[in-house]
Amino acid sequence: MGRYVTAGLFLLPACFVLVVWVIYPALYTIVRSFFGPTGYLGHWVGIHNYKALFTTSTLTTAIKNNAIWVAVVPAFVTAIGLLFAVLTERVRWSVAFKTVVFLPMAISAFATGVTWRIMYEQDPSQGAVNALGKVVKDAVSPPGVLPSAAPSTSNVVTAHGGMVLTTPLHPGGVALLGLTAIPPDQIPKGAAQAVNPTPKPGDIVGVVWRDFKPGGGKPGVVEKGELGLPGVTVELRSSSSGKVVQSSTANADGTFEFTNVPQGTYQAGVGAKTFAKPFGGFAWLGPKLITPALLIAYIWIWAGFSMVVIAAGMAAMPRDVLEAARTDGASEWQVFRRVTVPLLAPVLSVVLITMIINVLKVFDIVLALAPESTQSNANVIALAMWRTAFGGVNDFGTGSAIAVFLFLLVIPVLALNVRRFKREV
Amino acid sequence: MATAAETIRLPAPHERVSARILRALGKAPVQIVLVVLGLLWLVPTFGLLITSLLPQSITTNQGWWKVFSHPSSLTWANYNAMFHNHGLLTALKTTAYIAVGNTLLIIVVGALAAYALAWLDFPGRDWIFIGVIALLVVPLQMALIPMFRLYDTFGLYDTVLGIILFHVAFGLPFAIFLLRNFFIGIPKDILESARIDGANELVIFLRLIIPLGLPAIASLAIFQFLWTWNDLIVALTFGQNVQPITVWIFGQLREFESSIDVIAPAAFISLAIPLAIFFAFQRYFVQGLLAGSVK
C-alpha cells in the first residue's frame, strides 16, 4: 500500500499540471468547438464552425498553404539532410560544417523570420536573394542601354519588343528615330551632337538621338544641344515579311546606315535589347511568393536537424555491409541507393514524421517573416487559429474548431508513436 | 574523420606524399561543394549581424554586403541605443525569468514523474506512460482558449508565472519521455542494493537517480531553455504588459524598414544567447535531439 502512495506522490505534480493545463483544456476545446463565438459556452451551433473551416476563404487558404508545407518541407528537409550527412562523411572538417548548418536550429523561428526578411528585400540593391538573382539575370541577358526610353513622335511606335518608325522607307530614304524619357545618367558614354544624316542612293540612312534638350526643343527635329545615342542597335525590317534584313549600330552622333538595300518597302526601328529593363527583383514578400519564401527559410532552419539525426543513424550502420558491397564491385551510387538508404529507412521515417508534425504546427515564422499585408496569403492552420481566437475577431467557437482540426491531423502520428512504444515493451 | 572503409583500403601511416595529394584532389569537388553550402548557410545570420551594426540611413539605401567596400560605416550606435532602451531591457529580463523558471520547474516535476514511471512498481504504470506519449503531440492550440479564460479568472493572465506554467505543461510529456527512457537504463543492481540498505525512494531519487541522470537532465534543460527563450505564441496569448523579447520585437515589426536599426540588434541579441548556450552544450543538445526526435 505504501508503495502506491509513494508512486502517487512522485506522480502528483506532473499529473496536476497535465490535467489542468492539457487534458481539461483539450476536452473543453472539443466541446467548445460546437458552440458560438462568445461566452463561456455560447449557444449551440452544431457543426457550423467546422463547415466554416472549409467555406471561409481565409481558412481554406490556410489549409491549402499547410498542405503545400506538408508536401514540400518534410521531403526536402529529409533529402537535404541525407545529402549533407553523406557528403560530410567524406571530409575531415565535417564537425565545422555540421555546426554551421545546425546553427539555425538554436535560433527561434521568430528571429529567423526577421533575418530572412532582410534577405528577401525586393530591391536587388538591398535584398541579398534578389541581388544574387540580378547577378545571374544580368549575366544571362544584360539590361539594355536605354531601359526607360520612349518615342518622341507619334510615328514611332512600340513593336517587336522595341520601337519602329511607321513611315515606310525605300532605298535612298532617311529614318529619324527620336527618343525621349532618357535620364541624363543613362545617356551612353561618348554621345556627341546629333547630326541630320545625308541621304545616299541605294542606302537607307538615319539618326537615333535623344530628342530633348534643356528647355524642351521641337519633337521630331534634330536640334542643337540634342545628343546622338551611340551603341543603340537599329534594325531594318522588310515591310512585307516583317523580318529583320539588316542591323547596325549607331555612331557617336547617332547616325547609322543600312548599305546596298534592294528595292522594296522597309521599316527602321530600334531593337528590343536596347530597352530591356534591369532586374527589379522578385517580390518575395508579396502575396504570390510569400509561401515559397517561407518554405525556403524553414528548410534552412531544419536541414541541420535532419542532417544530425541521419548522420547519427549512419554512424550506427554496420560498416562491413557497406564494405562488402564495395568489394563486390558496387559503385558508390549503387552502395548509396541499395545499401545505405534501405538501412537508414527507420531513421529517415523518424525525420519525415517529426517534420510533418512540425510543419502542421508552424506558426512563429509566418508571423515574423510575412508582412501584415500578405499574412492572409501566407496563412497556415495554427496562425489562422490564433488570429480567429485572439487576433481581433475573437471568435472562440471557430478558433476551437480550428484547434480540433489541427489535433485531428496529428492523431495518426500519435497512434504511430504509441504503437512503436508498445512494440518496445 | 577517416571512415572505417578508408582505414581498410589505405592501411598506411607511411602513405606517400604523392598518394596523399592525389587522394585530397579526388575529394576536391566534395570539399568545394561543402564550402559553398556552408557559406550559403551562414549568409542570413551574418547579414543580420552586419545589418545590426549599420546606421539606419545606410540600411534603407543599400545592401549590408556593401560594407565590404566601406567597413568604416560599421558602428556600435544601435547597440548603445539598445542598452538604453528600457522596454527592450525589461523584455530581455522577462525572457530570462520565463526561460530559467520553466527549465527548473520542468526538471523537478519531470524527473519525479519519470522516476516513478521507470522504477516504481504500481498497476497501470505502462498505461500512464502511454498516456504521456499520447500527450506528446497535442498541439498547444488545443489549450489556448480555455486557459485564456481560466487565467483571467485566477489572475494568472499577464503574469510571468502563468506563462511559465503553460510552458511546463506542454514541455512535460517530452521531459517525462526523455528522462524515463534514460532512467530505465540505469543498472537495476544499484537501486536494489540501495533499497536493501534501507534507503527510501526519495533518498534514492536525490542521491542516485539525479546524479546518474545528469546527462539526460542537461539535454532536457537546454531544450526547455531554448524553447521558452524562443517562444512567441504562448507569451503573445497570455501576456500584455509582460513581454519577452520575441513579443517585444513583434510589436516593432509593423514598421520594419524604418525601425530596422532597433529590430536588427534586438533580434541578434535574442539569438546570441541561444547560440552561446548551443555552443557551450552542443553535445547535450544533439543527445537530446536524438533521444527525443519522435516528438
* Chain A environment of B56 (Cβ under 8 Å): none
Residues forming beta bridges with residue A270, ordered by sequence position: A163, A234
What ipTM is given for this predicted complex?
A: 0.84
What are A97-144's pLDDT values in tens digits? Answer: 988 898 888 887 788 888 898 888 888 877 888 888 888 888 877 777
CB contact under 8 A, A114 and B30: no
pLDDT score recorded for residue B91: 93
Cα(B235)–Cα(B95) distance, rounded to whole angstroms?
A: 10
Cell numbers describing residue A22:
492539457
Given CATH 1.20.960.40, say whether it is the number of domain A45-124+285-424. no
Pick the CATH number of B85-292 from 1.20.1420.30, 1.10.3720.10, 1.10.1510.10, 3.40.50.1000: 1.10.3720.10
The pLDDT tens digits for A330-348 are 888 888 888 888 989 888 9
Q: What is the pLDDT of residue B70?
A: 78
| Nearby residues of B69 by Cβ (< 8 Å), 6 or more positions away | none
Q: In the prediction, which pLDDT does B20 show?
A: 66
Whether pLDDT at B159 is above 90: yes
Question: Measured between CA atoms, how close is A30 to chain B, in angstroms?
Answer: 8
Q: Do A10 and B65 touch (CB under 8 A)?
A: no
Chain A residues touching residue B78 (CB < 8 angstroms): none
Please tell me the predicted confidence (pLDDT) of residue A380: 95
Task: Give DSSP secondary structure letters for A34-53.
Answer: TB-SSSSS--B-TTHHHHHH
Which pLDDT score, from 0 to 100, does residue A194 have? 85
A299 touches chain B (CB under 8 A): no
Give tens-digit pLDDT for A342-401.
989 888 988 898 899 899 999 989 988 898 888 889 999 999 999 999 987 789 999 999
Chain A interface disruption, residue of B9, B104, B138, B177, most A CBs within 10 A: B138
Contacts of B41 in chain A (CB under 8 A): 100-101, 103-104, 300, 303
- List the CATH code of the domain at A150-275: 2.60.40
A150 against B173, higher pLDDT: B173
A331 touches chain B (CB under 8 A): no
As beta bridge partners, residue A158 has: A163
Q: Could you read off the pLDDT of B62-91 as tens digits, one per residue?
A: 778 888 877 878 888 889 888 888 889 999
Per-residue pLDDT of B121-155, as tens digits, reads 888 898 999 999 889 889 999 999 999 999 999 99
CA angle A118, A120, A123 (to 5 degrees): 95
| Spatial CB neighbours of A133, under 8 Å, sequence gap ≥ 6 | A124, A279, A281, A282
Closest-CA residue in chain B for A305? B289
Q: How confident is the model at residue B5, as a pLDDT? A: 42
- Chain A residues 98-127 within an 8 A CB cutoff of chain B: 99-101, 103-112, 114-119, 121, 125-127
Residue A276: the pLDDT is: 78
Q: What average pLDDT does chain A have? A: 86
Residue that wins the pLDDT comparison between A377 and B14: A377
Report the chain B residue with the minimal C-alpha distance to residue A29: B142
Distance (Å, rounded) from C-alpha B247 to C-alpha B237?
10
Q: How far is CA A295 from CA A155, A352, B45, B223, in A?
A: 50, 16, 17, 24
At B22 the pLDDT is 66
Residues of B in contact with A395 (CB under 8 A): none
Most confident of A71-75, A184-188, A275-279: A71-75
Buried b (16+ CB within 10 A) or exposed e, A3-38: eeebbeebbebbbebbeebbbebbebbeebbbbbbe
Cβ contacts from A onto B, under 8 A: 298
Of the pLDDT bands very low, low, confident and very high (cuts 50, 70, 90), residue B23 is low
**B128: contact with A, CB 8 A cutoff:** yes
CATH 1.10.3720.10 intervals, chain B: 85-292
Q: Residue B38 and residue A101: Cβ atoms within 8 Å?
A: yes
Beta strands A150-151 and A266-270: pairing type? unpaired
Q: What is the pTM of this model?
A: 0.81
Q: What is the least distance, in Å, from the CA of A364 to any CA of chain B?
A: 6
B162, pLDDT greater than 60: yes
In angstroms, what separates the C-alpha of A313 from chain B's closest C-alpha?
9
